Amino acid sequence: MKVQLEKFDHIVLCVADVDETRAFYERVLGMESREERPGKYSLHFGDAKISLQDAATAPDIAKDTVPGSGNFCLVTSDPIDRLLDHLIAEGVEIRDGPGQRSGAVGDLLSVYFNDPDGNLVEVSNRL
């Protein structure tokens, strides 16, 4: 059997402080925070989701994940220069970029920064 994958449904970030992470992604990237069940939060944008796993209460299946070990890329239709101005205004330190990279479906113009846990976040325009 050949598995026919369609797309990512969600990713999970292990974080040290769920409230701080929620506030960062809401403020900096405009994501919507939702409480899925008591004490379990996720961040939503478009048809994607980032589940937040509190490092202090990680289940056995995720016990080896640690805050800051994530590295992922998001795509925006906002011009990178405008995004860069916004990030700087929000006090976000730019790690790299803008620079051209290769994405899943073509070339990207990307900027990189870290979230409060040190996860590397790449935000890109498709070229």
Give catalytic residues, as residue numbers. Answer: 122
- Tell me which residue of 92, 89, 86 sits closest to 114, measured CA to CA: 92
Question: Starting at the edge strand that comes first in sequence, how are the strands of the sheet with 10-15 ordered?
Answer: 10-15, 48-54, 40-45, 32-37
What is the CA angle 76-77-83, rounded to 5?
65
Tokens encoding 49: 């989701």
Peptide bond before residue 67 is cis, with ω within 30 degrees of 0: no
